[in-house]
């Protein structure tokens, strides 16, 4: 069960899939002051404007753990034993943060050379957290139903306790973020840098039109499992070479910088259009962060 922040963060890779149909056409650049195109050495150097209106990863990770705690308390009240993960709250929160930070590195293309060489397009094992995920199929039907009911109750209680902003405001930021990402992917500047990236990949023996096409290659056995054994069995030398080449070409052609500048312009435009609501969301998130820290310190 993920908060709206987490859904917005992890949706970055999913949103990529919806851009495939429009990635070959032209787009209209947004109005407003241009954003300078950086030449980053990693995605960690970049911060999109709408990030100001979302909980930071650390507080969002704590929020997920607090939310699960509320859900599990509800399950116990109903006579169920919650699924056991055998990890501490700190380990669980850190696991969310690692996953989201890794998703950030793949927003525009594979950009972490080290993980690309080792894990290709697979999620590396450090994104799993400290315990293997619980398979819902291994749980009884009554427990699964109770988890759904208690999850909904936990979300309501979370909002009542001031741990998250109202759903309407929170949804605004994540919706704008997803929409602006889609729009930026068909921006003429981004399409041009994709052509340069594609030429670079072709020279290296990997003919793909866009980073999405490389990630979606059916030769990659992306089962979703992140155990060491699964990765050894699934990650092929060809996949590793392709992912490493993608990262090299992303930096050689500045896919990250160009894509960031375009997306930031779309976000700035929408921030101007929705300034009042977003300012309210920012204040809500600041209050939520304080409440999260308070509840976390109490061990709830």
- Lowest average pLDDT, out of 145-154, 176-185, 225-234, goes to 225-234
The pLDDT of 26-43, averaged and rounded, is 77
Using DSSP's 3-state secondary structure scheme, residue 49 falls into: helix
Q: What is the C-alpha to C-alpha distance for residues 262 and 30, in angstroms, rounded to an integer?
A: 8
- Count of CA atoms in the C-beta half-sphere (13 A) of 270: 24
Q: Please give the share of the chain, as a percent, with pLDDT higher than 90.
A: 72
DSSP sequence for 150-181: HHHHHHHHHHHTTSS--HHHHHHHHHHHHHHH
Q: Which of 107, 97, 111 is CA-nearest to residue 41?
A: 111
The pLDDT of 105-118, averaged and rounded, is 96
SS3 content of the chain, % helix, strand, coil (to 5): 70, 0, 30
The pLDDT of 105-109, averaged and rounded, is 97
Q: What is the C-alpha to C-alpha distance for residues 211 and 236, in angstroms, rounded to an integer?
A: 18
Residue 213 has pLDDT above 70, yes or no: yes
Residue 81 has pLDDT above 50, yes or no: yes
Contact 236/124 with Cβ under 8 angstroms? no
Chain centroid, CA 152 distance in Å: 22
The pLDDT of 219-242, averaged and rounded, is 89
Q: What is the C-alpha to C-alpha distance for residues 232 and 250, in angstroms, rounded to an integer?
A: 26
Q: Which of 196, 207, 206 is CA-nearest to residue 242?
A: 206
Per-residue pLDDT at 20: 40
Q: What is the C-alpha to C-alpha distance for residues 142 and 163, in angstroms, rounded to an integer?
A: 29
Q: Which of 94, 60, 7, 6 is CA-nearest to residue 288?
A: 60
In angstroms, what CA-CA distances link 3 with 17, 39, 145, 167, 217? 22, 32, 19, 10, 30
Contact 102/119 with Cβ under 8 angstroms? no
Contact 226/130 with Cβ under 8 angstroms? no
Per-residue pLDDT at 281: 94
* pTM, 2 dp: 0.83
Q: What is the C-alpha to C-alpha distance for residues 274 and 283, in angstroms, rounded to an integer?
A: 14
Residue 300 has pLDDT above 80, yes or no: no
Q: What is the mean pLDDT of the chain?
A: 87
Angle, helices 167-185 vs 275-297, to 10°: value is 120
Chain centroid, CA 100 distance in Å: 5
Q: Which of 58, 48, 49 is CA-nearest to residue 288?
A: 58
Residue 216 has pLDDT above 90, yes or no: yes
Residue 118 has pLDDT above 90, yes or no: yes
Contact 66/106 with Cβ under 8 angstroms? no
The pLDDT of 98-108, averaged and rounded, is 95
pLDDT confidence tier of residue 72, bands split at 50, 70 and 90: very high
Q: What is the C-alpha to C-alpha distance for residues 193 and 204, in angstroms, rounded to an integer?
A: 17
Six token digits for residue 91: 């380990």
């Amino acid at each position: 069960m993920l908060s709206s922040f987490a859904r917005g963060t992890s949706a970055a890779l999913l949103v990529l899939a919806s851009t495939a149909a429009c990635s070959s056409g032209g787009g209209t650049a947004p109005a407003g002051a241009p954003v300078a195109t950086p030449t980053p050495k990693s995605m960690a150097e970049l911060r999109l404007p709408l990030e100001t209106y979302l909980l930071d990863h650390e507080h969002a990770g704590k929020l997920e753990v607090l939310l699960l705690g509320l859900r599990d308390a509800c399950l116990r009240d109903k006579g169920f034993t919650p699924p056991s993960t055998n990890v501490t709250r700190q380990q669980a929160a850190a696991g969310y943060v690692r996953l989201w930070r890794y998703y950030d590195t793949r927003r525009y293309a594979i950009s972490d050379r080290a993980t690309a060489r080792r894990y290709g397009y697979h999620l590396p094992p450090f994104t799993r957290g400290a315990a293997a995920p619980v398979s819902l199929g291994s749980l009884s039907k009554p427990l699964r139903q109770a988890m759904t009911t208690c999850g909904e109750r936990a979300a309501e209680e979370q909002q009542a306790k001031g741990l998250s902003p109202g759903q309407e405001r929170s949804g605004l930021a994540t919706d704008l973020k997803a929409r602006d990402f889609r729009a930026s992917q068909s921006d003429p500047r981004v399409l041009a840098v994709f052509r340069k990236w594609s030429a670079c990949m072709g020279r290296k023996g990997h003919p793909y039109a866009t980073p999405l096409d490389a990630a979606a290659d059916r030769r990659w056995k992306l089962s979703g499992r992140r155990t060491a054994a699964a990765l050894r069995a699934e990650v092929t030398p060809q996949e590793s070479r392709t992912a490493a080449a993608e990262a090299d070409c992303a930096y050689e052609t500045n896919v990250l910088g160009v894509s960031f500048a375009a997306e930031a312009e779309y976000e700035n435009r929408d921030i101007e259009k929705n300034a009042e609501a977003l300012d309210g969301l920012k204040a809500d998130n600041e209050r939520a962060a304080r409440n999260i820290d308070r509840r976390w310190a109490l061990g709830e």
